Amino acid sequence: MASSYLDHHLALLTHLRGILVALGEAEQVLDDTHALFLERFDELLVQLPQDPENCQYLGQDLISQVFHRYPQIAHLVPRDLLWFFGGDCLHFMPDEEIEMFQQLDERRYEAEANDEPFDWNQEKQLLALPQDSAKH
């Protein structure tokens, strides 16, 4: 199950990389370090599956840099990535969102402990429902 959790976040990183590439192709990047930034991003994509724990700081750094370097796409950064990398990335999340992700992680850990399947996206949608809707 841990692998599907990692795969989910790798897919989100790949999606974000596509956005960054499109930004460069549209010539909306003013500095010439964009290509170097993409190289570091690619390093993260390669290293993360091999050593997730040691990639946390690189991930935090790169995601934080996206907000600083490319503020025009900040709203497109998947919120899951902020939670996944944690640390400085949490500064870009409101408290209510952090609470939701904490609950989501608790549900994931409980499912893993009970050897039950866990669908991250489905559970996230359930937690995002208004309290009255969840009772139905």
- Of 69, 65, 57, 49, the C-alpha closest to 4 is 49
What is the tens place of the pLDDT at every residue in 7-65? 999 999 999 999 999 998 888 777 789 999 999 999 999 999 999 999 999 999 999 99
Dist. CA 10–CA 111, nearest whole Å? 21
Find the range with the poorest average confidence among 26-40, 62-76, 102-116.
26-40
Which pTM was predicted? 0.87
CA contacts within 13 A on the Cβ side of 81? 28
Model pLDDT, residue 127: 84
What is the tens place of the pLDDT at every residue in 39-54? 999 999 999 999 999 9
Dist. CA 99–CA 101, nearest whole Å? 5
Hunting for tokens 């998947």 — which residue is that?
Answer: 78
Model pLDDT, residue 40: 96
